[in-house]
């Protein structure tokens, strides 16, 4: 062993092509959620063969930067580089305990994010939060657990509105907390959620950081109490 590391030039052409695509995403030339140009266009742009482009896409797909949808094309992931279950929660056997622990962690993080969102959210952000809030209330009133994606959207928007760039890295934890909560509870138990959600939105709209923090704290406290009172899943 000579102790030398591979130079950039010694990496495969596919690795370098993958890095070029990744840099385009970092530079926002290709935005999260958008569709990539086809293989031919990418090959022309990167000045490589189409087989190299295919290999580069496979590399980025394995890193959760790109998502290949058969028959539809290749898309940049909404949260490039993040995986759905980064901490391996699906392997935890005691789901109620996991849901409680996730709620506890969220209680440390999300009130701060709501507080910062009240300082930094734009009017468009508030409108989007209100829309999510209304949709969650609609689904809960119907007694449907289909509100879970909208609940995730609502809390994700608050994290983004906080203006803290690290908050996006915490989104999978928030997602898992919401998913675990909805899996263990009945929609009727979330009947108070629209009230506390609305209180958060109102505080953000009114640029009241302390009220936003308090409303989010109350919302998560209610979730915790509901989880504590459910029977352990068999």
Please report the DSSP string for 30-45 in residue order: S-TTPBPPPHHHHHHH
- Over residues 60-116, the pLDDT tens digits come to 988 888 988 888 889 988 777 766 666 777 778 888 998 899 999 999 999 999 999
63 and 101, same domain (yes or no): no
Q: How far apart are CA 160 and CA 117, in angstroms?
A: 8
Tell which of 76, 102, 133 closes a domain: 76
> What domain range includes position 21?
8-76
Using CB atoms within 10 Å of the CB of residue 131, give its burial: 0 to 12 exposed, 13 to 18 middle, 19+ buried.
middle
Same domain, 68 and 93: no
Instruction: Choose between 7 and 192: higher pLDDT.
Output: 192
Residues 68 and 106 in one domain: no
Could you tell me what percent of the chain has a pLDDT over 90?
47
Separation between Cα atoms, residue 203 and residue 184, nearest integer Å:
29
Question: Does 164 lie in the same domain as 126?
Answer: yes
Answer yes or no: is pLDDT of 7 > 50. no
pLDDT of residue 148: 83
- 129's CB contacts (< 8 A; 6+ apart) are 121, 154, 157, 158, 161, 200, 201, 204
User: Bridge-partner residues for 73, per DSSP?
Assistant: 69
Q: Are residues 223 and 119 in the same domain?
A: yes
pLDDT at 5 over 50: no
In this structure, is residue 3 part of a structural domain?
no
Q: Does position 225 have pLDDT exceeding 80, yes or no?
A: yes
User: Which residue has tokens 């209610």?
Assistant: 222
| 49 occurs within a structural domain | yes
pLDDT of residue 233 exceeding 60, the answer is: no
Q: Which among 76, 103, 132 is the end of a domain?
A: 76
- 67/156 same-domain check: no
pLDDT score, position 57: 92
């Amino acid at each position: 062993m000579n102790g030398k590391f591979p130079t950039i030039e010694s990496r495969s052409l596919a690795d370098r092509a993958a890095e070029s695509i990744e840099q385009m995403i970092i530079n926002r030339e290709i935005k999260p959620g958008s569709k990539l140009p086809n293989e031919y266009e990418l090959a022309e742009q990167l000045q490589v063969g189409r087989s190299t482009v295919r290999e580069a896409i496979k590399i980025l797909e394995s890193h959760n930067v790109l998502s290949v949808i058969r028959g539809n094309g290749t898309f940049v992931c909404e949260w490039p580089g993040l995986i759905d279950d980064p901490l391996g929660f699906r392997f935890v056997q005691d789901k109620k305990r996991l849901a409680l622990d996730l709620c506890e962690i969220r209680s440390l993080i999300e009130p701060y994010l709501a507080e910062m969102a009240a300082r930094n959210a734009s009017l468009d952000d508030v409108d989007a939060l209100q829309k999510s809030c209304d949709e969650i209330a609609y689904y809960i009133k119907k007694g449907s657990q289909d509100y879970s994606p909208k609940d995730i959207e609502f809390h994700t928007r608050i994290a983004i509105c906080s203006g803290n760039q690290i908050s996006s890295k915490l989104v999978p934890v928030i997602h898992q907390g919401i998913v675990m909560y909805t899996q263990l509870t009945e929609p009727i138990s979330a009947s108070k959620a629209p009230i506390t959600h609305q209180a958060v939105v109102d505080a953000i709209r009114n640029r009241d950081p302390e009220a936003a923090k308090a409303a989010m704290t109350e919302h998560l406290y209610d979730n915790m109490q509901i989880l504590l009172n459910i029977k352990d899943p068999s």
